[in-house]
Amino acid sequence: MTSLTDCYTLSNGVQIPCVGFGTWQTPDGDVCVSSVLSAIESGYRHIDTAQGYGNEESVGIAVKKSGLPREELFITSKLTNTEHGYEKTHLAFEATMKKLDMDYLDLFLIHWPNPIAFRDHWQEANTGTWKAFEELYKAGRIKAIGVSNFLPHHITELMRTATIAPMVNQIRLCPGDTQEEVVNFSREMDMVLEAYSPLGVGKIFEVEEMKEFSKKYGKSIAQICLRWSLQRGYLPLPKSVTPSRIKENTEIFDFTLEASDVELIAGLTGCVGLHADPDKTTF
């Protein structure tokens, strides 16, 4: 990967830009619109949102304000936890398309595999949801479909009835939290790994080892993290609302981390906390 517009190829042949701009915890309204616009102006062509983020409308506004043709952007959203099941999924998808004011999505994900509302029948709920995903995909409303926060047993259960395998698994991947079992299983299924919270929700900036790597390479800690993510074969989704940092996070293609440093960063276990267990979440 040598630029923001270089792509991974999904299992169905769809091209997905190798770095995406995340919008989790970005409030709806002017802040979201301006940050997404800054990202597009800085070269991002991949924007990640979700129904649960509450900012799809602002993302749609920013895309229109950018003036770029829709086909030059890759837009992802995710199904919220309360809307699992066949009929609910169809209705929720239409609500997303209305908020984004778009004709199609590039990628739609099941956000969490086992929400509290479906804890006693999550397999059945996911089966219905995935049936709706497959129909929307076959109809051309979605270019690619996938999952988020799915562990191997969730994926295995989904595949009992799926006719189309997920193309993406978006999980928490950051220094010290590499989820090796999930990554290896997903790759065996030919899924691209998207890395949310690649900066450890900001905690990474206090890690002493990362400060040393920043000095060694003459790059910011954020740039080190994102370069590490790419060298691990992930697709990072950094988030910021500050134009200078948004731009800085794109400048990760002019240096390479030594292989030994990539491993050292991976081994900083728990330095920014660890991922949530999707079978024990309370949302």
Strand ranges, E, within the chain: 7-9, 15-17, 21-22, 46-48, 74-79, 105-110, 142-148, 168-172, 192-196, 235-236
CA dihedral 145, 148, 154, 159 (to 10 degrees): 10
Q: Which two tokens stand for residue 69?
A: 């043709």
Angle (deg, nearest 10), helices 221-231 and 208-217 = 90
Tally Cβ neighbours within 10 Å of residue 121. Answer: 12
d(CA 24, CA 7): 22
C-alpha distances (whole Å) from 49 to each of 34, 185, 247 are 15, 25, 19
d(CA 267, CA 262): 9
Cβ–Cβ < 8 Å for 220, 246:
no
Cβ–Cβ < 8 Å for 190, 166:
no
Catalytic residue, candidates 44, 53, 196, 234 = 53
* Chain centroid to CA 56: 15
Residue 44 annotated among the catalytic residues of the structure: no
Which residues belong to the active site?
A: 53
